[in-house]
Amino acid sequence: MNSVPGQSKVDSALKQKCVVAILNYNGKDLLGECLDSLAVQTFAHFETLVIDNGSTDGSKELLTTGYPWVKLLALEKNLGFSPAYNSGIRDALERGFEFFVLLNNDTWVAQDFLAELLQAIEEDDRLGAVCPKIYFASRPETIWYAGGDFSLWTCRPRHRGWKELDRGQFDTARQITLATGCAMLVRCSALQEVGLLDERFWAYLEDVEWSVRFLKSGYKLSLAPKARVWHRCGETSVKKLGSGSQAFPQYLSTRNALFLARKHVRWWQIPTHFLSFLVNHVAFYTALRLWRRDFRALWAIYRGIGQGLRRSFNIEPSKPQTDAGPRP
């Protein structure tokens, strides 16, 4: 567990075994600020884990020399969001952690971030996951996420408070139907029923699909508004992987929207779901990519449709093989 200057103990009710996992791919220029914010958490009883997705920019050397208190899980190549995080979740389950936090490397967090998340999830043993309030890093008072909503009827993930100035309008804890993989605390025992992230998604909408499974398994999701995070949006997906184009996220988000539909949409939801997909995703992003003259991303929409409809979808995501404890 962490033992770094500036950390102090809090109420014993919050002394739970927790691991904060940061997924990194060539994010050396981002990691420092994220880790520095974790080093001064008011909650001291946690471990910081960096899952490195085959970085070649010196990220691992930075951790070795500058952050020796961080545990490193070094993968040989970029496995994607879901497979890489699953490797960290399996490690946490095997070592008996009670809670697992997913945190983007392009974020930094408030000092009471962990304390607030843990306090929120401790208040209700039916909560499977809780998310903080997230702000744009470039506009620190402007909301990126204050909870989220998703319905299989409409196929539209929605962030509450998107681009709104925070005036306290989302300061009440509330249930949500969409948890974000940008920053999320998960109850490990719930994963015995919910399962791990679906690795077929690789990246994008894996958190939406996970949210659907949490709710179908009888768990609740919640916003913990006093836990705060600041996010540099798209620093890894566009700059590191997309060479400035939105083609990479556009392809995966389109393909994965169809994967999600094939997995969860029931026959009576098909008319509204696919009408919404055609209007709000295909037509909207076609117009947007044409307007921005991002022709690689335009072609990626239709490649994603083709792969989403044709690709084999027979292998189910795995359940944890270790005993993470009984469901509450």
Per-residue pLDDT of the chain (328 residues; tens, 9 = 90+): 554 433 333 343 444 489 999 999 999 999 999 999 999 999 989 999 999 999 999 999 999 999 999 999 999 999 999 999 999 999 999 999 999 999 999 999 999 999 999 999 999 999 999 999 999 999 999 999 999 999 999 999 999 999 999 999 999 999 999 999 999 999 999 999 999 999 999 999 999 999 999 999 999 999 999 999 999 986 554 454 445 689 999 999 999 999 999 999 999 999 999 999 999 999 999 999 999 999 999 999 999 999 999 877 665 555 665 433 322 2
Domain that holds residue 54: 12-235
**Is 322 contained in some domain?**
no
**Residue 273 and residue 126 in one domain:** no
Same domain? For 23 and 121 the reply is: yes
- Considering the domain architecture, whether residues 269 and 210 belong to the same structural domain is answered as no
Residue 268 DSSP one-character state: G
DSSP 8-state class, residue 42: S
Q: What confidence tens digit (pLDDT) does each residue in 170-215 have?
A: 999 999 999 999 999 999 999 999 999 999 999 999 999 999 999 9
CA pair distance 187, 110, nearest whole angstrom: 21
Residue 126 belongs to domain with CATH number: 3.90.550.10
Yes or no: say if 34 and 108 are a contact pair by the CB < 8 Å rule. yes
327, part of any domain: no
Let me know whether 230 and 247 are in one domain: no
Do 259 and 217 fall within a single domain? no
Residue 19 CA neighbour count, 13 Å, CB half: 24
Question: Which one, of 67, 68, 88, lies nearest residue 79 by Cα?
Answer: 88
Helical segments of 45-195, H only: 59-66, 81-94, 113-122, 191-194
For residues 139 and 282, state if they share a domain. no
Same domain, 115 and 139: yes
Query: At 183, phi and psi to the nearest 5?
Result: -160, 115
* Residue position matching structure tokens 């009984």: 326
In a domain, 114, yes or no: yes
Report how many domains make up the chain.
2
Helices (H) then strands (E): counts for the chain:
10, 12
Residue 204 lies in a domain: yes
Which of 208, 235, 262 is the endpoint of a domain? 235
Q: Which helix (H) or strand (E) holds 187?
A: strand 183-187
Domain C-terminal end among 200, 235, 270: 235
Sign of the dihedral defined by the CA atoms of residues 80, 257, 225, 239, in that order:
positive
Asked whether the beta carbons of 206 and 214 are under 8 A apart, the reply is no
Q: Are residues 81 and 183 in the same domain?
A: yes
| CA–CA dist 255, 242 (Å, integer) | 16
